[in-house]
């Protein structure tokens, strides 16, 4: 009897451990915590190089969800997070508030629980402008080397169409770090961003 009881207890402990492991939070692919920052080397379509630094700060909540501001120069991107997903809510230009845009519905940027060959779409519109369509999918993970180092990345690619103009976008995300590299291609024009340095809490 004691032996059966011991085996039963051991089984319960084992199952509980497995359940705890399965419910453990997945690493964040876009960690938007106040104080985090990323600095990128930017190569524009003419081959000119510059740098951009994006810094996270907290914003007011929306419908009970915390918002996060990602600021660089005179551009502020406002994101929300829910169920492991990161959404772009709007883009603000503090010096030119009339130029700001809000996305309806909010755009899915990345899902922390993303899987190979996941596909998603965004069909919506900006607060000023015509309807837009975006089609995204994931590709096999790959190692990416940038000035900040080498990272194992989740790669996602998308095609956006706005006012008849097509833009191909590729993003590489590293767990608990964020965007490592991005590439936008519009016709023969390419814009490349590569991570130079970062701080993630």
Q: What is the DSSP string of the chain?
A: -HHHHHHHHHHHHHHHHHHHHHTSPPPPSS---TT-EEEEEEE-TTS-EEEEEEEEEEEEEETTEEEEEEEETTEEEEEEEETTEEEEEEEE-TT-GGG-EEEEEEEEEEETT--TT-EEEEEEEESSS-EEEEEEEEEEEEEEEETTEEEEEEEEEEEEEETTEEEEEEEEEETTTEEEEEEEEETTEEEEEEEEEEE--
Please state, in angstroms and rounded to a whole number, the distance separating the CA atoms of residues 15 and 65.
33
Q: Show the tokens assigned to 79.
A: 């994101």
Residues in the chain: 201
- 131 contacts 122 by C-beta, under 8 angstroms: no
Please state, in angstroms and rounded to a whole number, the distance separating the CA atoms of residues 126 and 103.
5
Q: What is the pLDDT of residues 7-64, one digit of tens each?
A: 333 333 333 333 333 333 468 999 999 999 999 999 999 999 999 999 999 877 777 7
- pLDDT category at 170 given cuts 50, 70, 90 is very high
Q: Show the tokens assigned to 32.
A: 């938007």
pTM recorded for the entire structure: 0.83
Cα angle 160-165-159, degrees, rounded to a multiple of 5: 20
pLDDT attached to residue 19: 35
Q: Calculate Rg over the CA atoms of the chain.
A: 21
Q: What is the pLDDT of residues 68-116, one digit of tens each?
A: 999 999 999 999 998 899 999 999 998 888 889 999 999 999 999 898 8
Q: Show the tokens assigned to 75.
A: 């551009």
Q: What is the pLDDT of residues 121-167, one digit of tens each?
A: 999 988 777 788 999 999 999 999 999 999 999 999 999 987 788 99
Cross-strand bridge partners of residue 194 = 41, 181
Please state, in angstroms and rounded to a whole number, the distance separating the CA atoms of residues 80 and 66.
6
In order of their start, the domains of the chain are: 27-199 (2.40.360.20)
């Amino acid at each position: 009897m004691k032996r059966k009881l011991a085996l039963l207890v051991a089984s319960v402990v084992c199952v509980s451990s497995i359940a705890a492991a399965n419910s453990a939070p997945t690493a964040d692919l876009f960690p938007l915590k106040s104080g985090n920052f990323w600095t990128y080397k930017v190569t524009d379509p003419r081959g000119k190089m510059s740098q951009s630094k994006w810094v996270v700060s907290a914003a007011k909540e929306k419908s009970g969800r915390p918002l996060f501001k990602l600021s660089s120069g005179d551009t502020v991107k406002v994101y929300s997070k829910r169920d492991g997903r990161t959404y772009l809510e709007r883009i603000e230009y503090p010096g030119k508030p009339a130029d700001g845009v809000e996305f309806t519905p909010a755009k899915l940027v990345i899902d922390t629980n993303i899987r190979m060959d996941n596909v998603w779409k965004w069909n919506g519109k900006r607060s000023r402008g015509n309807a837009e369509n975006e089609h995204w999918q994931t590709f096999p993970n790959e190692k990416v080397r940038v000035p900040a180092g080498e990272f194992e990345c989740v790669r996602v690619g998308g095609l956006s169409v706005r006012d008849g103009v097509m833009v191909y976008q590729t993003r590489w995300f590293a767990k608990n770090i964020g965007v490592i590299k991005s590439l936008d291609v519009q016709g023969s024009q390419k814009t490349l961003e590569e991570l130079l340095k970062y701080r993630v809490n």
